[in-house]
Amino acid sequence: MAAEALPCPGLPWGAGAGIVFHCRVQEDGTRMSSSSVSSDPTHFAEPEELESTGPSKEMQEIYEQSVRDIIEGEIVRGTILEVRDDAVLVDIGYKSEGLIPLKEFRSPAGEITAKVGDVVDVYLEQKEDTEGLIVLSREKAEKIKIWDELSKIYDKGGAVTGTILGRTKGGLIVDIGVRAFLPGSQVDLRPVRDLDKLIGKAFPMKIIKLNQKRGNIVLSRRELLEEERKHLKEATLTNLAEGKVIKGKIKNITEYGAFVDLGGLDGLLHITDMSWGRVGHPSELFQVGDEIEVVVLKFDRTNERVSLGYKQRLPDPWDAVEQKYPVGSKVKGKVVSLTDYGAFVELEDGVEGLVHISEMSWTQRVKHPSKVVAIGDLVEVVVLDVDRANKRISLGMRQAEPNPWNSIEERYPVGTRVEGRVRNLADFGAFVELEEGIDGLIHISDMSWTKRVRHPSELLKKGEKVEAIVLHVDRTNHRISLGLKQVQEDPWQSTVPDKYRVGMDVQGKVVRLTDFGAFVELEDGVEGLLHVSELSHDRVNKPEDVVQVGQELTLKVIKLDTEERKIGLSLRAFLDAHGESGGEEEGGRRWKRRRGEDAEE
């Protein structure tokens, strides 16, 4: 194959005025010689002339220098000659051009950024491939440039801006031109529970480890934040003083308060200093990230501890509480809390009063405030007492209504027969409800004229309707005494004096024994006392030596006192009256004989 003249890619077009440089190429494609011809198309040098002339010494040096300066594995600058469908042709001033895949010129949005004539930096992988073209890569050149830039930043301790791409084991993947690793512990000053919420966001970060050979980069956002916080802290400490109003951001919320970032230094805003009113939880007033103004209550510069107040920005409502809520005034408020002993009522933000359980109703016996009011109820109350020093107000609900006990004596005069329902039974008596909230007490001693009542349940049942007589009314202490037996005639004043007379013989049954004698039941509800001295002419140490419970006896009435409701009985007098002697012995024989008769029957 004959040699032909081709443009020399290693030399600039139009290097000399009117001169074009050509290269003679052998059959194997290697360069033989170069020459210049006139730009005049009418003048061509003969081949022999070109061979005899040869390239000038100056041009030969330029070509050799260009070939010598291009080294594989380095970044070189080239010019885009052509943009094809799948590749871009780039001239780097070498003997041949290089093709770079078109995808290396696509932006993240997918747009082609290559244009003919653009100057770009490319990476020379090989000077010549099997087809005689040089192998170039724009992508590798960009990465190398990025690594070089990152290395400089790393050496200087500077910062880079990275975009969070996604999660990986132990942390996040970050794009800083190349992919880098951000450990979870280095994301923020405090542990971040939800790392996914950071994906897609960009943050400044510091390179804490770089290994280009392994392609490993470790980042830290925390170190930058700590440095920033340190500078802010120094400025904050300089300006901080007790009583000063400053701005801060809610950093964290707990059950007992909120931590406020004052600028590199955290202060505690306790729940009691958030509002003059009642606060159940700090989240009722604040959320993380809120910017607020607070007052510095206490500042310990040595330990760098700051106590903050939010309510202190406003006047204390208790300062004027005596003027706003004088004793005796009637006001309205909202029930905000219930306890076993009463209900707290909010009169205004920061001012609460206590309605004691005893001040809730004139008539009801309130066991728990929840039986009368509920949280959130609006109630009308009367101010009973104000203690500004201790920030206490005593309130009364019942004082806002008429007191039914003021006219109780007119409604239930003594001696009046009333009807009610047994509301409750106690060991000492029965409570009878006369009207809603008005109870009267029937004492156990006022239940029967004749029967000895040990417990009210022997005569009454809960819920039973009964009639009673009003015995006494105590308006001050809210008490009414009732009598059940007073509804009937007193047998001790009517039938007993006529039925039982001193000297008469009576029959009865021993029902109780005591140290001083025996009680004998003469009839239902009527008992007499057989004193130990009336058992026998002989000395009796114990009543049971002569008589027993259940034993029936014939005795003589020796005493009758209707006022004291007492009947005195005597076995000795009965035996004497009937001419019997033997006292104790005779009494014992009579009792044994009667017991035998009962057994035979």
Give tens-digit pLDDT for 93-117: 777 788 888 888 887 777 888 888 8
Q: Mark whether 306 and 328 lie in a shared domain.
A: no
> Residues near 337 by Cβ (< 8 Å), separated by ≥ 6?
278, 343, 344, 375
Closest CA to 255 of 229, 233, 274: 274
Q: Which of 62-76, 107-121, 146-160, 567-581 is predicted least confidently?
A: 62-76
Instruction: Tell me what pLDDT residue 61 has.
Output: 60
Residues 151 and 178: their CA atoms lie apart, in Å, by 12
Provide the pLDDT for residue 65. Answer: 55
Question: Of 41, 69, 97, which closes a domain?
Answer: 69
Please report which helix (H) or strand (E) contains residue 350, including its range: none
- Residues 6 or more apart whose Cβ sits within 8 Å of residue 213: none
Shared-domain flag, residues 211 and 259: no
**Are 470 and 536 found together in one domain?**
no
CA distance 62 to 586: 166
CB neighbours (10 Å) of residue 515? 8
Q: Are residues 309 and 325 in the same domain?
A: no
* 8 part of a folded domain: yes
Structure tokens of 278? Answer: 């009642």
Q: Which amino acid is it at 566?
A: K
Is 230 inside any structural domain? no
Q: Reduced to 3 states, what is the DSSP secondary structure of residue 500?
A: coil
Mean pLDDT of 220-247: 85
CA atoms within 13 A on the CB side of 570: 19
235 lies in a domain?
Answer: no
Q: Is 545 within the bounds of a domain? A: yes
Domain final residue, candidates 467, 487, 507: 487
Report the 3 state secondary structure along 533-597: HHCCCCCCCCHHHCCCCCCEEEEEEEEEECCCCEEEEEHHHHHHHCCCCCHHHHHHHHHHHHHHH
- Is 506 in the same domain as 596? yes
∠ CA 20-90-6, nearest 5°, is 30
Give me the pLDDT at residue 595, please. 44
Token pair recorded at residue 15:
């290097």
Residues 188 and 285 in one domain: no
For residue 409, what pLDDT is reported? 86
Q: Verify that 291 and 325 share a domain, yes or no.
A: no
Last residue of a domain, one of 400, 420, 439: 400
Question: 52 and 115 share a domain?
Answer: no
At 85, the amino acid letter reads D
What does the alpha-carbon distance between residue 208 and residue 296 come to, in Å, rounded to a whole number? 38
Q: What percent of the chain has pLDDT over 70?
A: 84
Largest CA distance in the chain: 193
What's the mean per-residue pLDDT of the chain? 81
283 and 218: one domain?
no
Query: Which of 336, 405, 402 is closest to 373 using CA atoms?
Result: 336
Structure tokens at 293: 């103004």
pLDDT of residue 57: 66
Q: With beta carbons less than 8 A apart as the criterion, state whether 76 and 134 touch.
A: no
Structure confidence at residue 282 (pLDDT): 92
| 3-state DSSP of 411-468 | HCCCCCEEEEEEEEEECCEEEEEEECCEEEEEEHHHCCCCCCCCCHHHCCCCCCEEEE
> Are 125 and 213 contained in the same domain?
no
pLDDT classification of 72: cutoffs 50, 70, 90: confident
Least confident segment among 184-198, 242-256, 485-499, 558-572: 485-499
Same domain, 62 and 93: no
Measure the CA–CA gap between 571 and 534, rounded to whole angstroms. Answer: 6
Range in 34-43, 434-443, 500-509 with the lowest mean pLDDT: 34-43
Neighbours of 5 (CB within 10 A): 18
Beta strands in 274-367 (DSSP E): 291-300, 305-309, 330-339, 342-348, 351-356
Separation between Cα atoms, residue 506 and residue 526, nearest integer Å: 12
Domain containing 113 equals 75-141
pLDDT on residue 121 = 84
Would you say residue 223 has pLDDT above 50? yes
pLDDT given at position 55:
58
Give me the sheet containing 19-25, strands edge to edge: 4-7, 19-25, 31-38
Q: What percentage of the chain reaches a pLDDT higher than 90?
A: 26
- Residue 39 in this model has a pLDDT that exceeds 70: no
| Residue of 28, 26, 34 whose CA lies nearest to 9 | 34
DSSP 61: H
Closest CA relative to residue 203, chosen from 184, 188, 191, 185: 188
The pLDDT assigned to 146 comes to: 82
Tokens 């005493």 found at: 559
Model confidence, pTM: 0.42
- Whether residue 511 contacts residue 519, with contact meaning beta carbons closer than 8 Å, is answered with yes
pLDDT in tens, 150-202: 888 888 888 899 999 998 898 999 988 888 999 988 888 888 888 888 899 99
CA atoms of 381 and 114, how far apart (whole Å): 84
Task: With respect to residue 166, please indicate whether it lies within any of the assigned structural domains.
Answer: yes
Q: Into how many domains does the chain fold?
A: 7
Amino acid letter at 577? Answer: A
Name which of 54-68, 96-110, 451-465, 475-489 the model is least confident about.
54-68
Q: pLDDT by residue (tens digit) across 125-143?
A: 777 776 777 888 887 887 8
Which residue has better confidence, 514 or 45?
514
Domain presence at residue 234:
no
**Integer Cα distance of 350 and 366 in angstroms:** 28
Domain presence at residue 148: no
Question: Is residue 197 domain-shared with residue 262, that is, in the same domain?
Answer: no
Residue 393 sits in a domain whose CATH number is: 2.40.50.140
Specify the 3-state DSSP secondary structure of 273: helix
According to the model, what pLDDT value does residue 63 have? 53
